[in-house]
């Protein structure tokens, strides 16, 4: 099988991916390489369109001229074209048109294959107005229009980017005139002729990838809102606001918003990018400040971030109400300062060494790097291309899992600390066992149940008899370690329904919920004594835990106050005190 045959046997999906990859590489190259403009006098040759090609960039195949007054019509330009100083347009051509300037681009195309339909695409969104003119076979003018100042539903070909159909006649070349209005922002963008099938394949794949991102963003918003409501964590609420505004701003800048969300609103479509991008930047600034917390970034940087957020919102309102070149430059400058301040906050937080903070910083960093490209474009330092259009989407897709992982780590640490704080109300901090107050409450409830259902529970009072020796011979640290080991031993002996507690310095208790038989209680006491005698590498060599255990079945019929926990505990304490004087005996049963 030859190489050509192998290519013809590729699936449509494979061909689409290959073409998209070649297109992306071409756009990156055009964004990075500044081609030297050819001489203005170079004659234009018609672009011949046939079935052997799928996409033809107009760079080096079209000429341009800027009408600074913006008053010339296409008929006047056609009549005076011999006197107009047209220049050859390069792939990285960019120009600042000002308030009234109009960019005219002229090219000739000759369709050689009547079976193919050809379309012209301006490969960028956000252009104010774009019109395509050409004469039909009868000599009349045909106009197509698009741009942000026109509702997408009224475009000649509603799409993400301005798209225009070319004339299908094949008898002669056709001259096309592209009229572009774009105030305040320097205009740049590649004009490319695609075959209809090629453009559809590219658009399907682009919509699939963008749909995957926006679907993921919506899912993350729902997850963040759920976490904010369930755990009452405002960091997830701040993240939900940030990711929502970022997604909407990307929808506006990528043309998705105009195509699907607000196709009938020219007013909002023309200002959406100038509103949503600053709001997303402010949300990112406040999100980072809230998550990393002012104590990590310092008081000065914290105040600067709040001040900058307020100024940014004021400048955004100014640019919407009274848009001028000065307001736009101020908006771009505020965006630049926001990037710098967020960088500074992340660096200050990174130096604290907290692992979750570093995940947050790593997540935000790609978006900051990608966000610098539109700033450079707005200042006229780079041209629009693949990177300026798609870098933020790619960075946002990288950011999402890193940020959510960092937030989950942060939330886990916070909830662990909160759980420990709540646990201190009912547990003893050193051993983790139930504290004396909570044990007393559970013992009372157990006595009530035992009397109601006519059964008996077992209570074991355990003393770590050599705790004083550990403290005197090896210090407080070893003595505390012995207490911790005792708590671990009691948890291993206790059943799920039992309660182990530390009720004094070296005194422990085990409540065995009934009905309990004598043999079970004695077996538990024996297991505790035997477990303490086992050697442990956590204790000094040759030492072990020595216990004295007193057990009783409660309620005891010999006491008048059968539900009085203090009476029962005092009775057990007295018996344990007597047992500690007996060196030969370790377990004492009181009423068995």
Is the model's pLDDT at 245 over the cut of 70?
A: yes
Do 256 and 334 lie in one domain? The reply is yes
- Coil, helix or strand at residue 121: strand
Q: Please, what is the angle between helix 299-321 and helix 325-350, to 10°?
A: 160
**Residue 45: both structure tokens together:** 């040759």
- DSSP tag of 456: -
Is the model's pLDDT at 560 over the cut of 90?
A: no
Torsions phi, psi of 98, nearest 5?
A: 80, -165
Per-residue model confidence (pLDDT) at position 426: 77
Least confident of 219-228, 305-314, 535-544, 548-557: 548-557
User: What are the residues whose beta carbons fall under 8 Å from the beta carbon of 587, sequence distance 6 or more?
Assistant: 522, 525, 526, 529, 548, 549, 550, 551
Give the position of tokens 């662990």.
416
20 inside domain: no
For the purposes of burial, counting CB atoms within 10 Å of the CB of 93, is it exposed (0-12), middle (13-18) or buried (19 or more)? buried
Indicate the pTM of the whole model.
0.71
Do 447 and 486 lie in one domain? The reply is yes
Least confident of 315-324, 458-467, 504-513, 567-576: 567-576
Query: Which residue range(s) make up the domain with 496?
Result: 436-589
Do 239 and 301 lie in one domain? The reply is yes
Per-residue model confidence (pLDDT) at position 419: 63
CA atoms within 13 A on the CB side of 404: 19
Q: What is the band of 427 on the pLDDT scale with cuts at 50, 70, 90?
A: confident
Is the model's pLDDT at 527 over the cut of 60?
A: yes
- Residue 397 Cα distances to 40, 160, 209, 241, angstroms: 43, 20, 11, 17
Q: At which of 386, 401, 423 does a domain end?
A: 423
Do 388 and 466 lie in one domain? The reply is no
Least confident of 25-29, 149-153, 550-554: 25-29
14 inside domain: no
Is the model's pLDDT at 250 over the cut of 50?
A: yes
For the purposes of burial, counting CB atoms within 10 Å of the CB of 229, is it exposed (0-12), middle (13-18) or buried (19 or more)? exposed
CA–CA gap between residue 248 and residue 363 (Å, rounded): 19
The mean pLDDT value for 39-48 works out to 67
Do 456 and 563 lie in one domain? The reply is yes
22 inside domain: no
CATH number, domain containing residue 507:
3.30.70.270
CA–CA gap between residue 212 and residue 417 (Å, rounded): 37
Do 402 and 459 lie in one domain? The reply is no
CA–CA gap between residue 131 and residue 156 (Å, rounded): 10
Q: At which of 368, 401, 423 does a domain end?
A: 423
CA atoms within 13 A on the CB side of 237: 8
24 inside domain: no
CATH number, domain containing residue 55:
2.60.40.2380
pLDDT tens digits along 376-426: 888 878 888 888 888 999 999 999 989 999 998 888 877 765 666 666 667
User: What are the residues whose beta carbons fall under 8 Å from the beta carbon of 195, sequence distance 6 or more?
Assistant: 49, 53, 54, 55, 116, 117, 118, 119
Do 328 and 476 lie in one domain? The reply is no
- Coil, helix or strand at residue 94: strand
Per-residue model confidence (pLDDT) at position 564: 79
Do 250 and 270 lie in one domain? The reply is yes
**Cis status of the peptide bond prior to 555, with omega within 30 of 0:** yes
The mean pLDDT value for 331-343 works out to 94
CATH number, domain containing residue 392:
1.20.1070
Per-residue model confidence (pLDDT) at position 40: 40
User: What are the residues whose beta carbons fall under 8 Å from the beta carbon of 85, sequence distance 6 or more?
Assistant: 40, 65
Do 154 and 287 lie in one domain? The reply is no
Least confident of 14-23, 43-52, 391-400, 535-544: 14-23
pLDDT tens digits along 253-285: 999 999 999 999 989 999 999 999 999 999 999
Is the model's pLDDT at 157 over the cut of 80?
A: yes
CA–CA gap between residue 405 and residue 520 (Å, rounded): 48
Task: Return mean pLDDT, the chain.
Answer: 87
CA–CA gap between residue 511 and residue 531 (Å, rounded): 18
Higher pLDDT, 378 or 334: 334
Q: What is the dihedral of CA 336, 341, 343, 349, to 10 degrees?
A: -170
Torsions phi, psi of 501, nearest 5?
A: -145, 155
Per-residue model confidence (pLDDT) at position 342: 94
Per-residue model confidence (pLDDT) at position 50: 87
Higher pLDDT, 552 or 39: 552
- What percentage of the chain exceeds 70 in pLDDT? 90
Q: Contacts for 148-156 with beta carbons within 8 Å, 24 or more apart?
A: 148/258, 148/266, 148/269, 148/270, 149/181, 149/266, 149/269, 149/270, 150/266, 151/263, 151/264, 151/265, 151/266, 151/269, 152/258, 152/259, 152/263, 152/264, 152/269, 153/263, 153/264, 156/132
Do 545 and 441 lie in one domain? The reply is yes
Do 59 and 186 lie in one domain? The reply is yes
Is the model's pLDDT at 513 over the cut of 60?
A: yes
The mean pLDDT value for 324-348 works out to 93
CA–CA gap between residue 561 and residue 362 (Å, rounded): 65
547 inside domain: yes
Do 474 and 345 lie in one domain? The reply is no
User: Looking at the 3D structure of the chain, how many domains does it have?
Assistant: 3
pLDDT tens digits along 338-384: 999 999 999 998 988 888 889 999 999 999 999 998 888 888 788 88
């Amino acid at each position: 099988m030859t190489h050509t045959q192998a290519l013809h046997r590729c699936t449509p999906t494979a061909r689409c991916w290959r073409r998209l990859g070649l297109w992306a590489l071409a756009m990156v190259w055009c964004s990075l390489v500044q081609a030297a403009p050819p001489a203005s006098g170079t004659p234009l040759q018609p672009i011949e369109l046939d079935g052997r090609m799928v996409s033809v960039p107009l760079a080096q195949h079209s000429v341009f001229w800027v009408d600074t007054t913006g008053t010339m019509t296409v008929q006047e330009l056609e009549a005076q074209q011999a006197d107009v100083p047209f220049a050859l347009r390069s792939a990285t051509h960019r120009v600042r048109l000002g308030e009234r300037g109009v960019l005219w681009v002229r090219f000739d195309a000759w369709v050689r294959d009547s079976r193919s339909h050809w379309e012209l695409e301006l490969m960028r969104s956000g252009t104010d107005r774009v019109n395509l003119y050409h004469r039909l076979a009868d000599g009349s003018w045909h106009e197509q229009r698009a741009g942000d100042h026109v509702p997408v539903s009224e475009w000649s070909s509603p799409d993400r980017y301005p798209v225009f159909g070319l004339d299908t006649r094949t008898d002669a070349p056709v001259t096309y005139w592209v009229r572009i209005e774009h105030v305040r922002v320097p205009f740049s963008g590649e004009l490319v002729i695609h075959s209809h099938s090629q453009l559809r394949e590219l658009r399907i794949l682009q919509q699939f990838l963008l749909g995957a991102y926006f679907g993921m963003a919506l899912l993350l918003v729902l997850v963040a809102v759920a976490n904010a409501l369930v755990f009452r964590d405002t960091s997830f609420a701040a993240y939900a606001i940030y990711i929502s505004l970022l997604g909407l701003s990307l929808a506006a800048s990528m043309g998705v918003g105009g195509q699907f969300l607000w196709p009938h609103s020219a007013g909002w479509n023309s200002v959406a990018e100038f509103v949503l991008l600053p709001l997303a930047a402010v949300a990112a600034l406040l999100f980072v400040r809230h998550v990393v917390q002012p104590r990590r970034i310092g008081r000065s940087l914290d105040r600067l971030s709040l001040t900058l957020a307020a100024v940014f919102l004021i400048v955004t309102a100014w640019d919407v109400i009274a848009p001028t070149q000065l307001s736009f430059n101020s908006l771009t400058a505020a965006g630049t300062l926001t990037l710098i301040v967020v960088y500074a906050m992340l660096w200050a937080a990174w130096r604290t060494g907290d692992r979750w903070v570093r995940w947050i910083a790593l997540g935000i960093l790609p978006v900051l790097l990608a966000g610098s490209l539109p700033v450079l474009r707005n200042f006229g330092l780079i041209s629009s291309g693949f990177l300026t259009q798609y870098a933020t989407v790619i960075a946002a897709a990288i950011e999402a899992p890193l940020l959510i992982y960092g937030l989950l780590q942060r939330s886990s640490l916070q909830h662990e600390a909160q759980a420990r704080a709540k646990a201190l109300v009912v547990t003893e901090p050193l051993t983790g066992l139930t504290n004396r107050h909570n044990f007393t409450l559970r013992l009372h409830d157990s006595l009530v149940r035992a009397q109601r259902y006519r059964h008996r529970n077992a209570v074991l009072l355990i003393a770590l008899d050599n705790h004083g020796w550990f403290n005197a011979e090896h210090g407080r640290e070893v003595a505390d370690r012995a207490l911790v080991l005792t708590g671990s031993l009691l948890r291993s002996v206790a059943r799920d329904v039992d309660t182990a507690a530390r009720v004094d310095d070296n005194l422990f208790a085990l409540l065995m919920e009934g009905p309990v038989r004598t043999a079970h209680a004695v077996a538990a006491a024996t297991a505790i004594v035997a477990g303490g005698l086992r050697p442990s590498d956590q204790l000094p060599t040759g030492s072990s835990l020595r216990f004295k255990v007193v057990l009783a079945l409660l309620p005891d019929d010999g006491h008048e106050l059968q539900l009085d926990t203090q009476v029962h505990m005092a009775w057990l304490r007295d018996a344990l005190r007597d047992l500690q004087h007996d060196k030969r005996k370790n377990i004492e049963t009181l009423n068995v």
